[in-house]
Copies of this chain bind each other. A is one copy, B any other.
Amino acid sequence: MPSPDRKISESTVRRLSAYLRSLEALEASGAEMASSGELARRAGTTAPQVRKDLSTFGSFGKRGLGYPVVPLIGSLEAILGLTREWRVALLGAGRVGAALHTYPFFRERGFRIVAIFDNDPEKVGLRWDDTTIRHIDELESVLAGEAVEIAILTVPAAPAPALADRVVRAGVGAILNFAPARLELPPHVVVNEVNLAMELELLSFALTRSEPR
């Protein structure tokens, strides 16, 4: 796998993730090979796009035949960094945190939640599966002790920026932010924002423009 030095765009990575899911469906249905056209159909893109995306990372297909399903799954997992375990902390044990914690994807894909934090004394000490909820005061020591690499923020907007700073200072390299607040962090930190407001406003914008005609 060439693993190129040049920058890979976010949309390419999102598509790789979609190809992986398509390939897993194909594997489950017993297919051994998949053409770029088939992958495109399932992932919602075009055949040339699939080929270009994959060719960025190597030459995985056989001309005339397509891509071998099982080996390509392995290659994509390697590219996406899914062949190892990631140590994840959950900040905020509210409803969103609970929803994420029970999501089976985490286990299946090796994202292991090793720490949960909240500032509500009622919640501190409770166990979710085999993880005890810790008070946010213990953030730094627990993050270091558990060697946390990814933090998921499911706290209100107000405390989010300060918590993100603390988490980064404690050595966490990536943040998935569900709080509707912008985080200003050093460039080496990977941040990904999921903003429900934005997603709904996208819908209302599109509906508003399409309906009055």
Q: Which residues of A contact B (CB under 8 A)?
A: 3, 8, 10, 13-14, 16-18, 20-21, 42-44, 79-82, 86, 94-96, 98-100, 102-103, 105, 109, 111, 149-150, 173-174, 176, 180, 182, 184, 188, 190, 192, 194-211
Contacts and interface: CB of A to CB of B under 8 A. Distances in A.
A208 to B, nearest CB: 3
A13 B81 contact: no
A96 B102 CA distance: 10
A190 to B, nearest CB: 4
A192 B196 contact: no
B43 A182 contact: yes
B196 A81 contact: no
Contact of A196 (B94, B95, B100, B209): B100
- Among A42, A44, A79, A80, max chain B CB count under 10 A is at A80
B10 A207 contact: no
A8 to B, nearest CB: 8
Nearest to A111: B200
Contacts of A150: 200, 203-204, 207
Contacts of A103: 196
B190 A207 contact: yes
B173 A190 contact: no
